[in-house]
Structure 1
Amino acid sequence: MSETIRDLQPKAIWENFYKLTQVPRPSNHEEKAREFMMNWAKENQIDATIDEVGNIIMRKPATPGMENRKGIILQGHLDMVPQKNEDKVHDFTKDPIDAYVDGEWVRAKGTTLGADNGMGVSAGMAVLTATDIPHGPIEVLITATEETGMDGANGLKPGVLKGDILLNLDSETEGELYVGCAGGLDSTIEFDYKEAAVPADSKAFKLSLKGLKGGHSGMDINLGRGNSNKLLFRFLKANAKALDLRMAAVNGGSLRNAIPRESFALVTVPSENAGQLQAKVAEASAIYKAELIEKDPDVKLLVEEAELPARVMDADLQERLIDAIMGCPNGTVRMIDSMPGTVETSNNLAIVKTTEDKIVINTLMRSSVETAKDYLADSLQAVFELAKADRIIFDGAYPGWKPNPHSAILKLMQEIYQKMYHKAPEIMAVHAGLECGILGAKYPNWDMISFGPTICHPHSPDEKVNIASVGKFWDYLKEVLKEVPVK
């Protein structure tokens, strides 16, 4: 079924995207994709290099008569978010993405699609091989490991790229031009695992919170979807003491930048409380479904009997952990007053998991206001200090991208869009970590815009890209390249 993607229009983009779906490229495992890109460049006689942090830089000279135009950098990232449904057998480091056409959309079977940011990379490739687009000097920057730390953008050296205008191709709504983005900050909190003996005459059960949509922790954070970690620990808070429930292990969420869809806990209760546990699970599942019926109607909390664990968590540690997760800020914290509908500050309680000797919690904070981000970090730190966490670490900070209302490329792209589609594009700031903030700090002379086709539900197995929007995005990009002003 994947073959039909290659027949979609514009063929210049879809052919490249199909090839990318066949090459594994999850974050931190981009070696095969990098090799593919370099071989592709060689086959097409394109000047290409790899820098010391794994960024790919390709260059194409101006077409005749366009040598005096400002240089354009087309920028996307090579990696994709590896998320799959629990019942899907898929190894993102080895297996191709099983993508298919579904009416007006392209999606993948049970996994993320990789349109984020495979569409941007495919468009850059299409420009590099095009013979019918007038353009000035072109550089294509394909950054490494954007999704888990923006490693490529952070490691890019100043002075390597010579262009004047950055077109970031990593936005996800056609008809919107992005002129700003949020900065981010990671937190890692650890509790040392203090164990206790499994109480006598206990039964073990696996609790499973499933069925949520999840999504991008920036773009989708204000949609009101459930957070599986919050919901699972809500149940534990409400019932642990009454049922004499003891936790042995927890495993919720998998990526900082994805809203967690599934969380699991291994627990024990006294044998005489087993029936009551099952009744409480059914009751909580019904409550969650009723509360989230409009946003996450498939949510469910399940319980099944399991083998007794070798240990359970110390009772004091369990209580402190449950209270900390319950109190941890999550979701939208504040909206931008001057841009209705746009999130200013948020936190994603992304991962809660036990290892052999500790419990690890990972969150991702975002804000377009640095002081607000700092305040959120202080709030989070206060919660976990009260819970006597053993380690609270903040790292991975990256700057936001401040909008430039006097941008020349913004004015030009507004005029072109109006002329092509007889309506004005929306001017937006995005609550996500576009690389523009980092790249702009290294190249302060750049005029920057971010845009792209319509991609829904990135960072989740529901990810899909609208076929018609890809055509509009491509036509618009070509026209912008033709109209780039003289240097």
Structure 2
Amino acid sequence: MSELSQLSPQPLWDIFAKICSIPHPSYHEEQLAEHILSWASEKGLEAERDSVGNILIRKPASAGMENRKTVVLQAHLDMVPQKNNDTEHDFTKDPIQPWIDGEWVKARGTTLGADNGIGMASALAVLADDSVAHGPLEVLLTMTEEAGMDGAFGLQPGWLKADILINTDSEEEGEIYMGCAGGIDFITTLKLEREAIPAGFETFKLTLKGLKGGHSGGDIHLGLGNANKLLARFLAGHAKELDLRLVDFNGGTLRNAIPREGFATVAVPADKAAELKNLASHYQEILKNELSVVEKNLVVLLDSATADKAALTAKSRDAFISLLNATPNGVIRNSDVAKGVVETSLNVGVVTMEQDSAQIICLIRSLIDSGKDYVVGMLESLGSLVGAQTEAKGSYPGWQPDASSPVMALVRETYQKLFNKTPNIQVIHAGLECGLFKKPYPEMDMVSIGPTITGPHSPDEQVHIESVGQYWTLLTELLKAIPAK
């Protein structure tokens, strides 16, 4: 038994503990999907999958509620795999280890997967708990949301029978989401040339780590450090004066997670080694001063290393460093319409270097299509300045807010009645699948709710226990209040 079984509502937490025990990072959801299908079959529920692997489970209405509008509860099957550098964990094989820390549930050294595992658990708990009153019910679990919204892109018209969709992927109790940002991936590929490291040079590994990381949408306004950008800044400031040769550069692991760690292999003349050490130490002091409020654990390390390949030529070095240093990152513009919400941003998420090329992968988000287009154009211009290839792909739409949504009004009224306070009606800068669902189901009325989750997409991810109970109460009362057709 998991220690989570002592928490309430118990069915939800027990199901979440089971979800944690089955590996399910993006592109590796099959084991969890098979478990859920088997679970549904045991409960006598109708369950099926579509051509892209999405799961749909149907449950008949509670007695006397057959005439209500049909509701689909929706969550995604996958989680973001991020771990601390000193944590041994294989996300494709090892279970997540949740534990209770006061008011919160956390994971040991990894992401928790409360995003969107709690939402998934809540939908399955509704199916499992016959005391929850509801009309005709569907549960839709989508594939590979975190790495490209594959399941939402593949959803076909006519499969869902529901009139109302409740997305469970929001991360702030007391807030109802009625709109979200769209996004697009942007990949810049720069050709590289190499030459032998000169004799008399010493090789070092420069590491910048200890950053918080986080969600590249929901946390982008917090001013968190981006390891790729901070490392590029150091190299841009000192490469020429040190006659530094760049051998390798890697940082970040996911386009939608703010990079927590970056690594560069460099070589400098032996008589410049002490200066490099001093500059690295000084740079740590600069960053600790600049980011003292948001990044208390950042470190800059310099260790002796061996180079297993040649260094970039001076021309390639300068092109790569200039490109990465000049690539914008973070908030581009705040919304004039949704006050306090970021309109357009980008995250320089992953930088990799191979023998003859380097790749910079960004995720651009915007509430408006023209905002995405603006940043795409900016990155294309940057790439052209250094002769790099650029590609924008995987565009997905935002979810346009509908102020007249009946289900949004119902959620607001139900919340007010339950908790005697007015919830915030919000537009979220993160990407939700609702925008994509609108294409095959343009008439479906949609809303997004969820418990309080902080630090999603990072090993600091945690879910607030009390808020899960409040979210469950809201969800079950909402299902009871769904009107007749």
Task: With the length of structure 2 as denominator, give the TM-score of the two structures.
Answer: 0.99
Q: Tell me if 1:58 matches 2:72.
A: no
Aligned pairs (5 A) from 1:55-134: 55-134=54-133
Give the structure 2 partner of residue 252 of structure 1.
Answer: 251
Give the structure 2 partner of residue 303 of structure 1.
Answer: 302
Matched residue type, 1:73: V
Matched residue type, 1:340: K
Give the structure 2 partner of residue 468 of structure 1.
Answer: 466
For residues 90-109 of structure 1, the C-alpha deviation after alignment (integer angstroms, 9 at most, x for no partner) is 00000000110000000001
Aligned pairs (5 A) from 1:273-352: 273-352=272-351
Q: How far off is 1:54 after superposition?
A: 0.8
- For residues 320 and 285 of structure 1, the distance between their equivalents in structure 2, rounded to whole angstroms, comes to 25
Aligned equivalent of 2:481, options 461, 480, 483 = 483
Matched residue type, 1:436: C
- For residues 31 and 410 of structure 1, the distance between their equivalents in structure 2, rounded to whole angstroms, comes to 33
Give the structure 2 partner of residue 206 of structure 1.
Answer: 205
Q: Tell me if 1:178 matches 2:165.
A: no
Aligned pairs (5 A) from 1:188-199: 188-199=187-198
Q: Tell me if 1:448 matches 2:451.
A: no
- For residues 193 and 45 of structure 1, the distance between their equivalents in structure 2, rounded to whole angstroms, comes to 59
Conserved? CA contact 1:179–1:449, under 8 Å: yes
Aligned equivalent of 2:402, options 401, 404, 410 = 404
Matched residue type, 2:428: V
Give the structure 2 partner of residue 35 of structure 1.
Answer: 34
Q: Give the alignment's Cα RMSD to 1 decimal.
A: 0.9
Conserved? CA contact 2:247–2:307, under 8 Å: no
- For residues 310 and 51 of structure 1, the distance between their equivalents in structure 2, rounded to whole angstroms, comes to 47
Q: How far off is 1:372 after superposition?
A: 1.3
Aligned equivalent of 1:421, options 414, 419, 422 = 419
Matched residue type, 1:484: I
Q: Percent identity?
A: 50
Conserved? CA contact 2:247–2:311, under 8 Å: yes
Q: How far off is 1:192 after superposition?
A: 2.0
For residues 399-444 of structure 1, the C-alpha deviation after alignment (integer angstroms, 9 at most, x for no partner) is 0000001101111111111011000000000001100000012100
DSSP-derived class of the 1:243 partner: coil
- For residues 347 and 428 of structure 2, the distance between their equivalents in structure 1, rounded to whole angstroms, comes to 16
- For residues 23 and 327 of structure 2, the distance between their equivalents in structure 1, rounded to whole angstroms, comes to 35
DSSP-derived class of the 1:414 partner: helix
- For residues 313 and 36 of structure 2, the distance between their equivalents in structure 1, rounded to whole angstroms, comes to 51
Q: How far off is 1:309 after superposition?
A: 3.2
Say which is worse superposed, 378-387 or 88-97, in terms of deviation: 378-387
DSSP-derived class of the 2:2 partner: helix
Matched residue type, 2:260: R
For residues 100-123 of structure 1, the C-alpha deviation after alignment (integer angstroms, 9 at most, x for no partner) is 000000000110000000011001
- For residues 396 and 189 of structure 1, the distance between their equivalents in structure 2, rounded to whole angstroms, comes to 14
Aligned equivalent of 2:433, options 432, 435, 438 = 435
- For residues 38 and 357 of structure 1, the distance between their equivalents in structure 2, rounded to whole angstroms, comes to 46
Conserved? CA contact 1:85–1:110, under 8 Å: yes
Q: How far off is 1:193 after superposition?
A: 2.7
- For residues 451 and 199 of structure 1, the distance between their equivalents in structure 2, rounded to whole angstroms, comes to 59
Q: How far off is 1:376 after superposition?
A: 1.0
Matched residue type, 1:445: E
Task: With the length of structure 1 as denominator, give the TM-score of the two structures.
Answer: 0.99
Aligned equivalent of 1:392, options 385, 390, 393 = 390
- For residues 483 and 416 of structure 2, the distance between their equivalents in structure 1, rounded to whole angstroms, comes to 18
Give the structure 2 partner of residue 227 of structure 1.
Answer: 226
For residues 2-23 of structure 1, the C-alpha deviation after alignment (integer angstroms, 9 at most, x for no partner) is 8211221100110000000000
Q: How far off is 1:225 after superposition?
A: 0.5
- For residues 371 and 250 of structure 2, the distance between their equivalents in structure 1, rounded to whole angstroms, comes to 30
Matched residue type, 2:227: S
Conserved? CA contact 1:172–1:452, under 8 Å: yes
Conserved? CA contact 2:2–2:14, under 8 Å: no
Q: How far off is 1:357 after superposition?
A: 3.0
DSSP-derived class of the 1:233 partner: helix
For residues 216-269 of structure 1, the C-alpha deviation after alignment (integer angstroms, 9 at most, x for no partner) is 000000001110001000000011000011111111000000000000011100
- For residues 307 and 464 of structure 2, the distance between their equivalents in structure 1, rounded to whole angstroms, comes to 48
Conserved? CA contact 1:203–1:308, under 8 Å: no
DSSP-derived class of the 2:347 partner: strand
Conserved? CA contact 2:98–2:112, under 8 Å: yes
Matched residue type, 1:243: L
Matched residue type, 2:325: M
For residues 58-77 of structure 1, the C-alpha deviation after alignment (integer angstroms, 9 at most, x for no partner) is 00011111111000010000
Give the structure 2 partner of residue 169 of structure 1.
Answer: 168
Conserved? CA contact 1:198–1:309, under 8 Å: no
Matched residue type, 1:105: W
DSSP-derived class of the 2:63 partner: coil
- For residues 371 and 312 of structure 2, the distance between their equivalents in structure 1, rounded to whole angstroms, comes to 35
Unaligned runs of 5+ in 2: none
DSSP-derived class of the 2:100 partner: strand
DSSP-derived class of the 2:438 partner: helix
Q: How far off is 1:310 after superposition?
A: 2.6
Unaligned runs of 5+ in 1: none
DSSP-derived class of the 1:48 partner: strand
DSSP-derived class of the 1:346 partner: strand
- Poorly superposed stretches of 4+, deviation over 4 Å: none
Say which is worse superposed, 166-175 or 40-49, in terms of deviation: 40-49
Q: How far off is 1:46 after superposition?
A: 1.5
